[in-house]
Amino acid sequence: MQYILASASPRRCELLKQILPRFDVIPATGAECVNLSLFPEQIACSLAEHKCDEVFSSHAGATVIGCDTIVVYEGEVLGKPKNREDAAKTLKRLSGKTHYVITGVCVRRGDKKLVNYDKTEVRFNVLSDDFIKIYVDGGSPLDKAGSYGIQDEGVVKEYFGSYTNVVGLPVSLVKDMLERIAQ
């Protein structure tokens, strides 16, 4: 059976290797359409499903895994920053505060499709202006929802839930979904 990850994220690839020794990477390329009237969990699932369906449409013989991670702060969905200034602004907003990271997952094989999500509560350290400037200048926040990586030292104080969910691929959930879809 061929497995395909519908994402180019190097972090997702590394995490998926923990449960799948071999898979292909074929990123979805379509525009992400977000319906902000949905609940955040529905938004993450909808985006993941869209990516999965797009890749599955040209690889129907494979098992396709689509994921999308969003950050939610005070009910607002925070995506990837537009630029350095946007990243710094987001980090300042989240400094010392609690937010949620939600990753939607869609797995499709044959005529079966499973859609689910994982949700993790994350609390930031209080970040100084100097820390934010150095962190943003280093480039790490620029390609990540919420403008940070949990693996980056000094940003996250604590979290409740799945670490791998915050990185972008909730390993336990994906493993469970792959087992269920193979039955």
Q: What is the pLDDT of residues 91-110, one digit of tens each?
A: 999 999 999 999 999 999 99
* Residue 8 DSSP one-character state: -
Asked whether 34 and 45 are in contact (CB, 8 A), the reply is no
Residue 127 has pLDDT above 80, yes or no: yes
pLDDT tens-place string over residues 8-33: 999 999 999 999 999 999 999 987 77
Q: Residue 139 is encoded by which pair of tokens?
A: 């480039």
* Residues with a known catalytic role: 68
pLDDT averaged over the chain?
Answer: 95
Least confident of 25-34, 124-133, 142-151: 25-34
| Bridge-based pairing state of the strands 63-73 and 3-5 | parallel
| Per-residue pLDDT, 30 | 81
Task: Enter the pTM of the model.
Answer: 0.94
| Per-residue pLDDT, 181 | 97
Identity of the amino acid at 76: E
User: How far is residue 135 from each of residues 5, 70, 93, 112, measured CA to CA in Å?
Assistant: 29, 20, 15, 43
Identity of the amino acid at 44: A
CATH of the domain at 73: 3.90.950.10
| Mean pLDDT, residues 113-133 | 98
| Per-residue pLDDT, 35 | 82
**Domain range spanning residue 46?**
3-181
| Mean pLDDT, residues 35-45 | 92
Q: In the chain, how many domains are there?
A: 1
**E runs forming strands in the chain:** 3-5, 24-25, 63-73, 76-78, 98-109, 112-124, 156-160
